[in-house]
Structure 1
Amino acid sequence: MTTRFTAVLAMPPPGRAAPPGVDPDELRLAMLEDVYEVVAGLELVTPALVLHPPHQPDAEAVTWPGTPILREPDPAAALQAMADLGAEEAALVVPDAPDLPPLLIGKLFRALGSAPAAACPATGGGLVALAVRLPVPGWLAEALPALGAALDAPDALARLRTAAPGAGLVRKTPGWHRLRDPADLGLLDPGLEGWENTRALLASHPLPAPPH
């Protein structure tokens, strides 16, 4: 059986989507905890947390006992740390997608059956998640720094595919949205299960209309 890890990137900038009256740090932690709960609920996958900066007691506190805490400066180092822990496949997930369906992470790992890397693109650019067979291929390791610490580079998927030495080495899976500014809160669906911590924090703040 393949050993799989999925790590949530607890990286700044925090709480950029906070509307007036909501503390940005509280929103940052609520979203992070919701994403972590998605990851921790996956079957046959070890959840982990990547801390950068390395000292974030509030972020570490959202994890379950025994969760690997990786104090790494970037995605490349985080993937290497998971490989050192025995992972054969690993995924990185951003902290600002609290309503991410677990199925989308499953699709990333399934895509690794036919390619060494798979990416879940974010609405508006960047990535929501990136999955990789370990050890990381050399061409991918060279491309990772350009994606940004939180996979925010607008052309992240294009950069990966350009770096790949052949077609089909980076699979694209169905995308999702990230909550990067207050208008993005309109993308949250009150009828969708999950995102309980974010939902509770925003309960007294009407969600904006979905951005066009």
Structure 2
Amino acid sequence: MAAAPLVAFDNRAALARAAAETIAEAITAAIASRGEACIALSGGSTPEPTYTALTAMPLDWPKVTLALVDERFAPPSEEASNERMVTRAFASAIEAGAHFKPLYSATPTPVEAADHAEALYAPLHIDLAVMGMGTDAHTASWFPGVAAHALDLNTARTVVAVHAPSAAGTPHRLTLTRAAYNRAGQALLLITGADKRHRLETALSQPIEQAPVAALLAPGAPKLEIFWAP
């Protein structure tokens, strides 16, 4: 499996600035071509500075939809919630008119929440997906050995529930499917630290079921840029 070019930055602040510029360019191009834009966002500490930098840019926020790549089955009142972090980082953009689409809903089960999110997410045209990677080579909530239904390219689903015992925060997750990810216009993978760079390199020689991040570089996946900083 061929690797996408990895762009290395001297520090994480430089990565955040460059990533924000890349996302802004995708938003601007989408608005110019079809009158609106949609970006799918990952949680975690790595992308938050990028989001903060992005909100400082003079974009046409009322024409932008903010979606999530994945989410814990946890309300936004909990610190682990990706919705909590994203809406905090994009507070000024949302105030300026950006539209946020949650994955979580207060349903009895994660499967019911996924069904609710499906109705919101299936119509979306994702112009750019911001992806991350864990040290176990998971991306989105595609965890090794437990996300076969999420990785199935033949599924008609956009969002599914995943039970991943090794997942931080809660084992119950909601995630975009690989099929939905593959419909995105482009993608940006943000990683930091020597350990994750090495893990990404080794993942490319492993089956996707063992190293799901390799799906981002498989045939049929959207054009991917990889930004890395120590």
TM-score (norm 2): 0.31
TM-score (norm 1): 0.33
